[in-house]
Amino acid sequence: MRRLSFNAGRGLGALTGALLAVLWVYTMWAPGAGLGLSGISLAIGFTMVVIAVVAIIAAVRGHGTMLMIAFLASFLPVGALLVQAADPRDRWIGVLDLALLAAAALVHFGNEANQR
């Protein structure tokens, strides 16, 4: 059961990280996107893409702690505000950040069994 949790967390984390990276890239460069990033906001968006790629690598490798750090780094500054956004595209970024938390919990729960 714990092995299933571990693999489900890895898959969820990798999928969530990939979707976050795609959504942030779309938000940064698509004309007429919801947030319309420019200047310092563009740098923050690029940082969020890097965090999403780190989350993908952490999920594939099975590092629950790094997934949790990626969740905190992406959710606390931006994701918490985007969960309440009016535009559904922007809201998905916040919801996917919460899915990183679920993936981190599943990987951590599954990792405990592997260490015993």
Instruction: Give pLDDT tens digits for 59-87.
Output: 999 999 999 999 999 998 888 888 888 87
Q: Tokens 């693999």, residue?
A: 7
For the segment 25-38, the average pLDDT, to the nearest whole number, is 70
Which has more confidence, 53 or 111? Answer: 53
Give the domains, in start order, of the chain with CATH numbers: 2-111 (1.20.1270)
> What is the residue-averaged pLDDT of the chain?
87
For the segment 94-102, the average pLDDT, to the nearest whole number, is 94
What is the pLDDT confidence band of residue 115, given thresholds at 50, 70 and 90? low
Whether residue 59 contacts residue 103, with contact meaning beta carbons closer than 8 Å, is answered with yes
Long-range contacts of 27-35 (CB under 8 A, 24+ apart): 27/89, 27/90, 27/93, 33/89, 34/85, 34/87, 34/89, 34/90, 35/90
